[in-house]
Structure 1
Amino acid sequence: MQKGILAVACVVAIALGIGAALGLGGPLVDRVLAEDEGSEGDRGPEVQAVRTAVAERTEILDQFSAVGDTRAIRSVDILAKTAGVVTSFDVPSGTRVDAGYLLVQLDDRAERAVLRQVQARLGNAQATADRTIELSDRDVAPEASVDTVQAELDLARAEVDAAQIEVDDRRIVAPFAGTVGLTDIEVGARIEPTDVITTLDDLSQMEVIFNLPESLFTSVRQGQALFATGSGSDEVFEGEVATVGTRIDPVARFFEVRGVFDNPEGTLTTGMLMNVDLTLETRDSVTVPELAVVNVGDESFVFVTADGVAKERAVRTGLLQDGSVEILEGLEEGESVITSGLQAIKDGDRVEPKVADAGRTLTAADETAP
């Protein structure tokens, strides 16, 4: 302050000297003093026009993305239970069939003959048992004979059941409703129990199998929502977690997760690559536009406006979603934050807020717009 007074005194002295030399005197001195008084006056800090947005409460989806493979909810290779020669077949590849649909018939003439023999034996055993029981009831036949004929009857019934199984094993049917795959068999060909006749897939629902890192093991639970999209389609399939693996791979540090979703139109099939978004948690949080957050190292700040003054506020951020940042700590719902000109704003600056247009997402262009 003393230096300022000294400087003013010097200016006045010089002005007086020059004025005296030139005969100007008072007018020049008065003007110099007036200008100096203007510089010493309090003009006040400049008011900056800024855009602001209101901190809102938004539903946040905590998601994790992965890539998985599809598999039919039920899928089997159709095999013969016994060796035999194909006498007829109806394998409608790519077509959906009902459970029990006859796909292949093997030669069963010998088995049917055996079945007729044991059925006749069963009829004879049944008649013998009926007569013996009747005689026993009249005390004509001993009780021991009843036990004998009953055992023979049970044996005959077992022989019929075994013969019927042999006949049924030569009828290869669909074990459940599903879509039939390709086949290479022909009438007259002999097939063995190890030969794959065709495949059957239940495509009404699909499984998607994917891996997640060990760090998420305690966060994944059965029933959590997931969304899957195919690499060649924009269609989104909504489903849920069906099974969570109980072991973590000690090398890759991953664990397996299986999700399930409906496939009513049969759009998907086994072996397709899917992009999966797993929703770990849904929560309501305070959010602000991404442009409102200033990151300095590991710290984050926003500028809150109150009574026309910008106040710097440290915040703890969460997830980024649809151009907005989740604020976990440091900001309350309804507070106004500055979204433009942050490079020139300092704590305590006077500002003139202009609220962003309702319903419009702030972009990088708003950073420079007043």
Structure 2
Amino acid sequence: MQKGILAVACSIAVVIGIGTALGLGGPLVDRFLTDEADEAGGRGAEPQSVRTAGAERSEIVEQFSAVGNTRAIRSVDILARTAGVVTSFDIPGGTRVDAGYPLVQLDDRAERAALRQVQARLGDAQATADRTVELSDRNVAADASVDTAQADLDLVLAELDAAQVEVDDRTIVAPFAGTVGLTDIEIGARVEPTDVITTLDDLSQIEVIFNLPESLFLRVEAGQALQAVGTGSDRIFQGEVAIVGTRIDPVARFFEVRGLLDNPDGILTTGMLMNVDLTLETRDSVSVPELAIVNVGEESVVFVLADGEAQERAVRTGLLQDGSVEILDGLEDGESVIVTGLQAIEDGDPVEPEDTASDQEAVPAAEAAP
């Protein structure tokens, strides 16, 4: 535009000089000045062709990422309740078993013999108590004799319960349904109550444990959705927050969160490293393509297409999601923003969308066709 003005000015100066030298005077000069001024005025800045995009409402999901470790929802070390010698075992490592499944049998011959002795005494005690009650009813036996006989019967019943426990303790069973781990025991080996025979994990659900910064403490609660991906896999596991820790580490300034993941295929197990994405909030916001944002210092602006002009608009941005930027303030749903040529555009410059410019160029070509 400045070059055009300069060229017109030079032309006017030359014409004035020539007209004066030839004595042609005012009419020629006046006519030239009028023509040049009209031409310069008609040559306004051409509208710049730009691409635009609409500001649209979309679902914004605010997430926080962390790294966590997995743990079975229930997990125990299988121990013997009493010392004994292994007579048989069935520990199918890596296989799921039902609650009550017999894993190990210890030698229980002495305990079963003691149980039979108590059972025999129980018969005598029961018969004595019944006979004493009958005699008491006929006023043959004193009431004190009935009480004594009943006390003896109760004592034998207690001994029976204890003998049965001793027998049951020699059979080690799965306390709940789960996946059995490995074992190193052999038949004939003696085990002590402190020896870990095997492990049992309930992997129907997996607990993922991770830490979050103190700044999020008031924003995290049970029930919030999360998803996790293993470091060696691209499969996404869905879950939710189960427990939020009640204490903040005074040194590291974080708190512990425990989430539950569904594990129907039993793919996850204890001790795995997981990348966790916790959903803090889901909201409906206006968003525009990332290309529409121009950063000027600490301020963010967009250029809105309105009445054939580029209007600069300061905006307050939020999250970046899938190539779009959330607009918290400064832009309304449905407005058109410019996404190309932003380096050469200033506030108030004439612009037109590319599709409009293409239509206008196509009209003369269509009229010229025979």
Give TM-score, length-normalised by structure 2: 0.89
Per the alignment, residue 363 of structure 1 pairs with none
> Do the aligned partners of 1:73 and 1:207 also contact (CA within 8 Å) in 2?
yes
Q: Matched residues in 2 for 1:178 and 1:267: separation?
A: 14
Equivalenced residue count is: 349
Shift of 1:268: 1.3
Say if 2:203 is the partner of 1:200: no
Alpha-carbon distance change, 297 to 169 in structure 1, aligned in 2, over 3 angstroms:
same
Counterpart AA for 2:21: I
Between the aligned partners of 1:137 and 1:341, the Cα distance in structure 2 is: 112
Q: Does the CA contact (< 8 Å) of 1:15 and 1:29 recur in 2?
A: no
Higher mean alpha-carbon deviation, 329-338 vs 139-148, is at 139-148
Return the alpha-carbon distance in structure 2 between the equivalents of residues 354 and 129 of structure 1: 106
Distance 1:117 1:162, change over 3 A: same
**Quick check: 1:115–1:164 contact (8 Å CA) kept in 2?**
yes
C-alpha separation in 1, matches of 2:258 and 2:169: 34
Distance in 1, matches of 2:91 and 2:152, equals 43
Name the structure 2 match of 1:361: none
Aligned to 1:180: 180
- For the 8 Å contact 1:290–1:325, the answer to whether it is kept is yes
Matches of 2:121 and 2:10 in 1, distance apart? 136
- In the alignment, residue 57 of structure 1 is paired with which amino acid? R
The SS at the match of 1:216 is helix
Q: How many percent identity over aligned positions? A: 77
1:143 CA drift (Å): 2.0
- The corresponding residue for 2:144 is 144
Q: Choose between structure 1 and 2: higher helix proportion.
A: 2
Q: Displacement, 1:32? A: 4.7
- Hey, what's the Cα distance between the residues in 2 that align with 1:115 and 1:291? 84
Unaligned runs of 5+ in 2: 1-5, 357-370
Relative to structure 2, which stretch is displaced further, 87-96 or 26-35?
26-35
Could you say which residue in structure 1 is the equivalent of 2:91? 91
**Gap change, CA 1:248 and 1:355, over 3 Å in 2:** farther
Worse overlay, 25-34 or 186-195: 25-34
Residues 292-331 of structure 1 mapped to structure 2, 5 A cutoff: 292-331=292-331
Q: 1:17 aligns with which of 13, 16, 20?
A: 20
Cα distance in 2 for partners of 1:192, 1:40 equals 105
Aligned equivalent of 1:62: 62
Counterpart in the other structure of 2:280? 280
Q: Cα distance, 1:13 vs. partner? A: 5.4
Range with bigger deviation, 30-39 or 254-263: 30-39
Instruction: Output aligned runs, 1:24-173, within 5 Å.
Output: 29=29, 32-34=32-34, 36-38=36-38, 41=41, 43-173=43-173
Counterpart CA distance in 2 for 1:234 and 1:85 is 47
Q: Deviations over 1:323-368 (max 9, x none)?
A: 0011111111111111111111111122112479xxxxxxxxxxxx
Q: Would you say the 8 A contact 2:12–2:33 is kept in 1? A: no
Q: 1:60 to 1:7 in 2, by over 3 A?
A: closer
Which residue does the alignment assign to 2:351? 351
Counterpart of 2:246 in 1: which secondary structure? coil
Using the alignment, how far apart are the partners of 2:205 and 2:355 within structure 1? 49
C-alpha RMSD of the superposition: 2.3
**Greater shift after overlay, 347-356 or 334-343?**
347-356
Counterpart residue type for residue 189 of structure 1: A
Change (3 A) 1:146 1:355: farther
Contact 2:56 2:287 in 1 (8 A): yes
Counterpart CA distance in 1 for 2:253 and 2:12 is 79
Q: Report if aligned partners of 1:19, 1:28 keep a CA contact under 8 Å in 2.
A: no
SS in 2 for 1:242: strand
- SS of structure 2 residue aligned to 1:197: strand
How many angstroms does 1:296 deviate by?
A: 1.7
CA distance 1:33–1:162, shift in 2 (3 Å):
same
User: What CA distance in whole angstroms lies between the structure 2 residues aligned with 1:349 and 1:25?
Assistant: 41
Q: What residue number does 2:365 align with?
A: none
Change (3 A) 1:355 1:326: farther
Identify if the C-alpha distance between structure 1 residues 116 and 304 changes in structure 2 by more than 3 Å, giving closer, same or farther. Answer: same
> How far is 1:117 from its partner?
1.2
For residue 139 of structure 1, report the CA deviation from its aligned partner: 2.5
Q: Does the C-alpha gap of structure 1 residues 287 and 355 become closer, same or farther in structure 2, counting only changes over 3 Å?
A: farther
Return the letter of the residue paired with 1:14.
Answer: G
**Per-residue deviation at 1:30?**
5.6
- Aligned AA (1:284): D
- Tell me the CA shift for residue 91 of structure 1: 0.9
Distance 1:9 1:321 in 2: 58
| Cα gap change, 1:47 to 1:7, in 2 (>3 Å) | closer
Q: Distance in 1 between matches of 2:179 and 2:297?
A: 57
For structure 1, the residue ranges without an aligned partner over 5 or more in a row are 357-370
Q: Secondary structure of the residue that 1:149 maps to in structure 2?
A: helix
Whole-Å separation in 1 of the counterparts to 2:19 and 2:309: 45
